[in-house]
Every structure is written in C-alpha cells, then in structure tokens.
Structure 1
C-alpha cells in the first residue's frame, strides 16, 4: 500500500491475532528478564533514549495491568495462576502468565519495563511522567459491554486521563505537561469483548442488531473516542483492530461444534469491523489538524500463531489454554485452587480460554514494532 500524504497512515499488513497474544520463546530474547526493574537494567548497560515522552493506553483486558483489581467485578486476574511467571510469581491483575502487550510496548519504546495501571497503586513521579494504562478488562466501545460485568467504561477511562493530566501539572507545570502529552504515544485497544461477549455470547445485542449494524454502533463509538483523545492533545495514536475472535479457545467451545473449529461467523464479523475501522482511520486522517493515526492490524498475526504455531513458532498447543481444560476457564474460572495448570506455558499460544501467553504477546508486539512504529513518526 502506498503511503498516504495525510498525517494519518493506514497500514494494512497480513497478520492476525484472535484476541491478542503470543510472546516469542522467552522474554529473554528481546526483553529483559521478567521482573527486572529499570534500575537493574541500567546497571548492566547504558539506558537507550526513549522514543516518546510517555505511553498512554486505553482499552480492555489485553492492555489492563490491574485496573480491575479494586472493582466489584468478577473480571479480575489478581489471583493465581495469573502471573505465575511474573517476578515473584505475583498476580498483578495482568490477564496472562506474565507480561502483557502494554509492558512490551513500554519496553520497546525504551520508556520502562512495566506500564503500571492508573488505579490501585502508589505511583512515583516517574511512573506518571512516563505513562500509565487506563485499560479495564472486559470493557468495550458498546456502553452495554462494561455495564454487564461492572467494569470501567471507555468514557470513564477518559475521565481518569483528565485526572492523570492534572497530576502531571502538579508534578511539573502546564507547559511541561503539554510537552509530555504531545510527545506521547497513545494506544487504543478495544472491541473484542463487544463482539465475542456482548454480541455472540449474550442475547442482548444480537436480538437488536445484525452484524453490520452492530459494527456501525461500535465504530461510531470508537470514532467519538478517538476525537476525544485528539481533543486532549494526543499527536500520535495507534488504533488496534480485532483478532480472529472465532479462534479463541472459549469461542471454539461455544460455537465451533464437536471439533472445536474456529467459528467462521465470528471471524467474519471481526474482519468486517477491521475493514471498516481502516476506512474510519483513513477518513479521520484527511481532516485538517487531526493527529497521526495508525491502524494496527493484529488479526493476521494471531491467525498465523493459531494456524502455524507448531511449525513456525514452536508452540505445541494452539486451541486450548494452559489454565484448566483451556475451553471456558477465564478470570474467576481460571483459578489454580480449582483447576489444573499446564506444566510448560511456553508451549501454549493461550494462557486461559481468552488471553494469550506472555510469549505469544511478545511475538505480537514485535510484529507491531516491525510493521507499524515507523508510521507513527517516532
């Protein structure tokens, strides 16, 4: 695809990801050891210059490092076996056995080793100055999606950002805060829970909308969200598309029949959303003054992990998660007090029935850096 002349760049690359996830054989390959802090890393080699002032993330469980921990919801990952391969085997609230994409993004930008949640932790000034994640597991662009499971809405994430901005001003001043915001990379990653859960799993939306009209509802909300992010001073935004939803273990179980095959209808819905999201990104990019906006396609890389995991990436299991049977175990149902956990997580694409493993996530984020970062003018 030729590079457009407008500031927004729409990049369509073949790769996939059914919900997000897959980290190459070990964090050791392209990332420091799990739990290694920034000071420890600096002691071994000179710290590289950060590519941006901060990383600021909005979205769902793929990017949630623990914002749900203090909520009255079942959608939490602050219990074992989540975090089994994190430093100290700590269950931080990350929906994986270790790190998640927001952490690898922060590392890739040379900012810090972990991108902290905005809620529930004591931040140092440096934590705030270099960015946080506002993402909440199981949220979405459809207002009904977070309401069903009592998690943080996308609008509330923007409100938390406004509060975060005021904290930056108190730490520095207005001018410095503007410099941090304008020099930051913003990532928006949501929509998977809308289709996988609200539309295909519950009856609420499927009785009201066909798939094309529901996609319209989601993208109308997504466009409004992007405009609100732009209005708050963002100059670089990465907008993440949907994975092959129908190939996630839980969706295979719910709709894939006895063979637990990928569910074509659910993957078709994700592809329709992605195609129209690319059109939206291109249209917004033609508007004068709109920030650099890059569409990030994860569908094909995740599909590749699922289809070619054994031969290409060394995974031995691509249809079941590590937790329990890997079919419906997620959040509260993925608990090592009640279910068995696989011995070698590195062999799995998925950790639970919905989320990838740390190793799979690393592969996905490496792909993003190889194919998309250049278009964000970093």
Structure 2
C-alpha cells in the first residue's frame, strides 16, 4: 500500500476508503506520512444514517422513500434493484470492498441476512432519515433512535453468536459510518419548512449538531470507537434543490449551501471536542462538501459531462418513486454525477470513494 499524507479531522482527497482505513489504524492525533501494515484487519463496517448508505432498510416499510424497483439497481448484480438509492453500489459497499471485508454491506433488516454477515457488519441506515427527530416522521422511515434500538439488538445477536469478549473486540475495532443531515436541511427545513417557524438557520443547525453529538455518544457508550461522520453535501447543488430553490436557471441555491456550510463548521468543531473527551475514541469529520463542489465546478477533470441534473427522467426532480421504469434514463450514466435528483451515480460515488 502506498504511503500518503494523513490529514487531521478533515479530508478532501478522492480516496475516502484509504483515508478511513488509515484512521482505523493510527488515529487522528498527528500529521505524518505513513505506510499502513498489511496484516491489520478491520473486522466489520457498521453504518447508520440516511439514503446514502441505506442498503434496503426501507424496502418493507410503509413509506414512499424506496428504491427497490427499476431503474434503481440498473447496473447492480444482474440488474437487480435492492433498495439502494443508486444505479449500482453505495459508498458503504465500496468501503467494505476496499477494506477487504466483503463485496457488499447488507441491510440489517434484509430478511435473507445470514447470521455470519453480522460478524462483518451491516447497515441500519434508512433513506429519508436525519438527526432531527421530525425528519423521519415526515416520510415514515427509521429514526436515529430506531437505528440505535436495532444496533442494541444487533449487539445482543453478536454476543449470542461469538460471546461477550469477541463482541466487544469486534465493536472496538470496527469502522462506524454515520451519514445524515442532508434530509434535515433539504427537506425538513427548506422544502417542507415545518421547522422554519421554530428555528432560524443558526438555531436549526445547532439542533442538528446537538442531535448528531448525542447519537455519536450513544454508539460510543455501546462500544463504538472508530467513527467516521460525514459532513453535509452542498445541498443547494443537488438537482432537486436547484429546481426548487435555484430560480429559472436552476443555479445552485446558495442559501441552502450556506446553511450546509454553517452546519459543517459546527459539526467539525463538535467532533474535535468529542474526539478529545471520549477515551480511546477516533472520531473523524469526513468532508464531502468541498470534493462535490470541486466536481461540480470542473466535471471534465473527473471524466463527467453532466452535473446539474440526474440520469433518471428529466433529472430535475425525479427521486425515489418519481424515478421509475416508466421514465427514460440517460443513455450513459457514467457521464453523469447524479443518478436521480438527489443521489450520485456509481461513477460519482467511485470518484468520491
């Protein structure tokens, strides 16, 4: 494995999985050029959050936020829609494969899940969820509290399979991914607006960061130590938000992006505090905002042509049930950064991961 420069608590390179691996192994307390030992194994990846790492949790929920139908999964194994909000894999799949754990990360709620899969990790994430407790209620998906409850259940199953000692070892050495915040800002605050009467943007981002911090402390108390927390993306540049808030020319909605930037600044500061105060923790802030902005501003550099709309339908508003087999898809999704109006293509994810 090639050496690289290790950056404390932020990341803007395209090799997210390699960065995560380095954090798992050496922590976040210095800047150094390192070569990672090849004999160190990460036992599992465990994911929480929203549709970016939803591996099919929403399939059997009573919600419109689903992706278990075509054209989702168009480029997945056998063209099968699995509930992943992409034409192919998610970042969670790419990370477990990059770390040599397994090819795909399954959903904890997958009815066909083999108990052996529990030993190498699962995803509890639910598309449409967020840190704000109101966010999942709007669309009837799993909240952070629901995901935490399932995680406790998962720990009980691990103990039954391998015992208390090995369970604690798996948890302490696994990589935890927490991906949320986009739906809070894009949907709950701006589009639906149910929080606007209660909060201005600074106070709402405080609510989000407080809830994120509480969730991280909860999983820490249950044994998590190596935790990567994703920033919010530039939500104003998502195709759907361009359509809803970007005016007739569908420019990036700067008010939305400014809110995401403010949240990210506060989140990063809080994660630095948690990393200092939670014993033996390795908690990192994973910046996806700036890499996505870089891709959108210079798509040709990354082998892309279209970054302002998705591949599905018109690409301006279609997502979830609005992106369906009755609509056309673009002839070559590898030229698009976005698959639908909210989620990247497999090509987009591969650039980031």
Q: 1:10 to 1:220 in 2, by over 3 A?
A: farther
Aligned runs of 1:153-302 on 2, under 5 Å?
153-289=143-279, 291-302=281-292
1:324 maps onto 2:322 in alignment: no
Q: Deviations over 1:206-237 (max 9, x none)?
A: 12111000000111111100100110011110
Aligned-pair distance for 1:121?
2.7
Look up the match of 1:25.
Answer: none
By relative contact order (CA 8 Å, sep 6+), the higher-ranking structure is 1
Q: 1:227 to 1:10 in 2, by over 3 A?
A: farther
Match of 1:346 among 331, 334, 343: 334
SS of equivalent residue, structure 1 residue 239: strand
Whether the aligned pair in 1 keeps the contact of 2:10 and 2:284 (CA below 8 Å) is no
Aligned-pair distance for 1:123?
2.0
Aligned-pair distance for 1:49?
5.8
Aligned-pair distance for 1:97?
0.2
Aligned-pair distance for 1:125?
3.1
SS of equivalent residue, structure 1 residue 127: helix
Whether the aligned pair in 1 keeps the contact of 2:187 and 2:193 (CA below 8 Å) is no
SS of equivalent residue, structure 1 residue 133: coil
SS of equivalent residue, structure 1 residue 104: helix
Aligned runs of 1:309-320 on 2, under 5 Å?
309-310=299-300, 312-320=301-309
Aligned-pair distance for 1:118?
0.4
Match of 1:151 among 128, 141, 145: 141
Within 2, Cα distance between the matches of 1:113 and 1:232? 26
* Structure 2 gap segments, 5+ residues each: 17-37
1:111 maps onto 2:101 in alignment: yes
Within 2, Cα distance between the matches of 1:173 and 1:356? 39
Within 1, Cα distance between the matches of 2:13 and 2:197? 32
Aligned-pair distance for 1:138?
0.6
1:359 maps onto 2:343 in alignment: no
Q: 1:258 to 1:351 in 2, by over 3 A?
A: same
Look up the match of 1:62.
Answer: 52
Aligned-pair distance for 1:203?
2.3
Whether the aligned pair in 2 keeps the contact of 1:10 and 1:293 (CA below 8 Å) is no
Look up the match of 1:11.
Answer: 9
CA RMSD of aligned residues (A): 1.8
Whether the aligned pair in 2 keeps the contact of 1:139 and 1:193 (CA below 8 Å) is yes
Aligned-pair distance for 1:290?
5.2
Normalized against structure 2, the TM-score is what?
0.89
Whether the aligned pair in 2 keeps the contact of 1:111 and 1:130 (CA below 8 Å) is yes
Match of 1:335 among 306, 321, 324: 324
Within 2, Cα distance between the matches of 1:259 and 1:60? 29
SS of equivalent residue, structure 2 residue 59: coil
Aligned-pair distance for 1:288?
4.9
Normalized against structure 1, the TM-score is what?
0.84
Q: Deviations over 1:36-85 (max 9, x none)?
A: xxxxxxxxxxxx86631110100100000100000000000000000000
1:137 maps onto 2:132 in alignment: no
Within 2, Cα distance between the matches of 1:111 and 1:259? 44
Aligned-pair distance for 1:169?
1.3
Q: 1:72 to 1:50 in 2, by over 3 A?
A: farther
Q: 1:64 to 1:49 in 2, by over 3 A?
A: farther
